[in-house]
Amino acid sequence: MSETPEARLKRMKIRSWRRGTKEMDLILGPYADANLAQMDEAALDLYDDLLEENDQDLYQWVSGQGTPPERFAALIASLVPR
């Protein structure tokens, strides 16, 4: 059974706000609230894939301490305005 678009957005927002680390909660949560509703299907798929990544890796990428995989590079850059 596939989830409805509304259920998908709700799931993704919850996963954005309830990560494993407070730092990623505070980065992904506000981003999800502000952007998910306007994203197209491809962007939502990519963000959903990003949510599967480890918080420690995500934080390294967002903070510039590590290089994200190419497919996430633009999304990571948009998470935190520089």
Domains, the chain, in order of start with CATH, read 5-79 (1.10.150.250)
pLDDT in tens, 5-35: 999 999 999 999 999 899 999 999 999 999 9
pLDDT in tens, 31-56: 999 999 999 999 999 999 999 999 99
Q: How confident is the model at residue 80 (pLDDT cuts 50, 70, 90)?
A: confident
Task: Enter the pTM of the model.
Answer: 0.92
Conformation bin of residue 81: beta by default, left when phi > 0, alpha when psi is -120 to 50? beta
Q: What pLDDT score was predicted for residue 20?
A: 87
Q: What pLDDT score was predicted for residue 82?
A: 61
CB 55 within 8 A of CB 21: yes
CB 20 within 8 A of CB 55: yes
Write the CB contacts of 39 (distance below 8 Å, at least 6 apart in sequence): 47
